[in-house]
C-alpha cells in the first residue's frame, strides 16, 4: 500500500483536488462509539449534492457495526468528469443510525477496531 500511496497535506484555504478516476483515503473528523448495549449500528451515506458530481465516499460495505469505536475511514472515488475540490470541514457524508434486533454478543473486533488517523489523507 505504501508504494501505491502518497501523503498529502490538506490546506484549509485551497483544499484537496480529487481528479477524475482517482481514489483518496480520508478520515472523518467525528469520532464515534457505538456501544453494543445501545443496540445501534450505522451506515455511511454520501451527500447527494456531491454524488451528482461523481463523488462516492464509501466504496465498500457502508455498515458501521455495533461496538465500533473510532473515526471512520472513507474510501472516496471521483467517478465524475471534472476535479472535485474537497475542503476541511465540508460535509461530504452522513451517518444513518439503525437499531439492531437483539444485543450483540460482542462488539466489533475486526481489523479496523479502534482505528485512528496516523497520517494525513492519502491518494492512490
Catalytic-residue membership of 69: no
Contact in structure between 99 and 40 (CB atoms under 8 Å)? yes
- Please give the biggest Cα pair distance in the chain: 46
Contact in structure between 6 and 20 (CB atoms under 8 Å)? no
Domain ranges of the chain: 31-102
Q: What is the DSSP letter of 4?
A: G
Contact in structure between 55 and 76 (CB atoms under 8 Å)? yes
SS3 for 46-67 is ECHHHHCCCEECECCCCEECCC
Q: 35-39, 48-52, 120-124: lowest mean pLDDT where?
A: 120-124
At 43 the pLDDT is 93
Q: Is the pLDDT of residue 62 over 90?
A: no
Backbone angles phi, psi at 22, to 5 degrees: -120, 150
Q: Which of 3, 8, 75, 98 is catalytic?
A: 75
The mean pLDDT value for 109-123 works out to 55
CATH superfamily, with its number, for domain 31-102: Deoxyuridine triphosphatase (dUTPase) (2.70.40.10)
Amino acid at each position: 500500500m505504501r508504494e501505491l500511496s502518497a501523503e498529502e497535506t490538506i490546506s484549509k484555504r485551497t483544499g484537496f483536488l480529487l481528479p477524475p478516476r482517482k481514489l483518496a483515503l480520508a478520515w472523518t473528523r467525528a469520532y464515534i462509539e457505538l456501544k453494543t448495549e445501545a443496540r445501534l449500528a450505522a451506515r455511511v451515506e454520501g451527500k447527494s449534492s456531491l454524488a451528482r458530481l461523481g463523488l462516492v465516499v464509501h466504496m465498500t460495505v457502508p455498515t458501521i457495526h455495533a461496538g465500533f469505536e473510532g473515526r471512520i475511514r472513507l474510501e472516496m472515488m471521483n467517478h465524475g468528469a471534472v476535479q472535485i475540490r474537497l475542503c476541511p470541514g465540508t460535509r461530504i457524508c452522513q451517518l444513518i443510525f439503525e437499531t439492531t434486533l437483539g444485543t450483540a454478543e460482542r462488539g466489533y473486533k475486526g481489523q479496523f477496531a479502534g482505528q485512528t488517523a496516523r497520517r494525513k489523507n492519502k491518494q492512490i
